[in-house]
Amino acid sequence: MTDLRAALTDYLALRNRLGHELADAARVLPRFVTWMEHEGQSTVTITAAIQWSQQPNARPGSVVGAHRMTAIRGFARYLSGLDPDTQVPPPRLIPDPQRWRPPFIYAPADIKALLAAAGRLPSPRRAATYQTLFALLAATGMRVGEAIRLDTTDLDRDQGVLLIRQSKFGKSRYVPLHPTTVDALHDYADRRDDYQPIPGNASFFVSLTGRRLIYPTVRDVFGQLRADTGIGAGSAHQPHIHGLRHTFAVTTLVRWYRDGADVAARLPWLSTYLGHHDPRSTYWYLSATPELLAIAADRLEPIIGAAVPQ
């Protein structure tokens, strides 16, 4: 095994533990490493990334080249900490013509149906775990990886907060919880020890085998429940588990707009709560749904109208 391939194995394992989807990376990067090995190259460079990303089967105008480059860029960022000669391709070096895809926003009835279906899973232990996990994602907008990395000591029942340790960008934060969410987590925590976690496993959520949940399994369970309930059937935008995070953000913004709140002043609160690097990432949600755009337009119309000479 070459050093590059060994590094790829470690990189994919790390992404998996952090709860990232591996669909593109696990499919694209092994092919890229094989090509690098065939070319006798051991260090990722921008030139190599472009050459491979634009192979003949990446047709002009398709998303193939952009998706390849995105996967390579993530791998290169990881490699740069191991090999200082690694070159990290800049963002949007190969434009993605379909880069922005509107997320599926779950209606309250969708979430209710999803949680009811989770509660009907054959194993009572599995049902309690996934019903609590998916309810937590919907109620807080947490990343999936953050939720499955929670330990039993991360829930402060008295203060009603969760500690999210070393999440994206290496930052930790406290997430305040609604009292009903605290009660639900408290109830699951009291039952957790009866689920016989393996010795030394401090994970808050435990699998049937007593181990920490892993992202691929969580994603597959969610996908099966979504299919069973028919959520999003016929929708132009396929529902994904990360849509629960989008839904939380959009719902919060819609409520603030409808209440007449100063959304610009509150947006940093939401950014901090969601664990965004800065409010610019949160602004993306303003264009996530037509409803948000319409509400924002209604709020701006009196201001714009007053500024236009009559």
Q: Which residues are catalytic?
A: 143, 168, 242, 245, 276, 285
Q: Cα separations (Å) of 112 from 131, 157, 234, 290? A: 10, 25, 19, 23
Report the alpha-carbon distance of residue 303 to residue 230 in Å, rounded. Answer: 42
Residue 102 in 3-state DSSP?
A: coil
Cα separation, 142 vs 276, in Å, equals 11
Phi first, then psi: give them for residue 174, nearest 5 degrees.
Answer: -100, 140
Smallest CA-to-CA distance from 281 within 238, 244, 243, 249 is with 249
Which amino acid makes up residue 170?
G
Contact predicate 146/276, CB 8 Å: no
Q: How far apart are CA 50 and CA 58, in angstroms?
A: 11
Cα distances from 152 to residues 58, 141, 220, in angstroms, run 47, 20, 24
DSSP 105: P
Handedness of CA 22, 233, 289, 178 (dihedral sign): negative
Q: Nearest-CA neighbor of 215 among 32, 7, 73, 12?
A: 12
C-alpha 150: how far from its chain's center?
15
Could you tell me if 263 and 159 are in contact, meaning their C-beta atoms sit under 8 angstroms apart? no
Which tokens belong to 119?
């509660």
Alpha-carbon gap, residue 22 to 219, rounded angstroms: 11
Token code pair at residue 11: 């990189």
Residue 9 Cα distances to 3, 19, 84, 165, angstroms: 10, 16, 19, 25
